[in-house]
Structures are given as C-alpha cells and as structure tokens.
Structure 1
Amino acid sequence: MVIDGYVGYNGGINLADEYINEKMRFGHWKDTAVRLQGEGVWNLTVMFLQMWTVIT
C-alpha cells in the first residue's frame, strides 16, 4: 500500500483472532509488515503498477 507517494507498507497485517493467537485455528502465526519512506516508496509503486498491468 502506498500513501500519497511518501509512505508505503508491504507485508501482511492480518487483523483477526486467528492471527493474534487468540484462537488456535492455524497454530501459532507470525506476520510481518514493513513501513517504507523515501526512495523505496517509488520502487514499491512501480512494482505494483507492473504487477497490475500483467494481471489485468
């Protein structure tokens, strides 16, 4: 996800009981997300647009 071209997030941010180990549906689950700022946000935007073009 890119916000205004200045901040980007990549990874998984699952918000549900199954993913905070409240319920044992999937066993222990660890999820990771990364916040990007600066030049990396432009690269994230370009990668998204390239994948979007291939998929659609």
Structure 2
Amino acid sequence: MTIYLINSTHTYNDKTNELKNIKTGKMIKIAAMRIKCLEYMLNHAQQEIIYKKQLTNEL
C-alpha cells in the first residue's frame, strides 16, 4: 500500500483507490480507468511533461 501526497492538499491511497482532501477529510472513490491514469502520472511525475500519447499507449 502506498499513499501519495498530491499538491499538499490531497492524498491518494492505492490500496483503497480513494482520493482524500486533507483539509476537509472528504474522500472519493476513483473508477478503475481513472486509477490507471492517475497511477501512471504519479509514477512518471519526475518527467517534466507527460504527453497524452504516452498515457494512451500505456492504457
């Protein structure tokens, strides 16, 4: 299980597939395809630019 911090305002838990607002505590479940997109972006965050074509090819 990994919890990612996104812009110091949200956390993403890859075990529960939930995105949580740190301030309000509100959580939302994320659909499977959106999870794949988010995980790809998080895993490639060190790249300056993530092109749509790269994401499409990965999915």
> What range describes the TM-score normalised by the shorter chain of this pair?
0.3 to 0.5
Give the greater-gyration-radius structure (CA): 1
TM-score by length of 1: 0.40
Query: Relative contact order (C-alpha < 8 Å, sep 6+): which is higher?
Result: 1
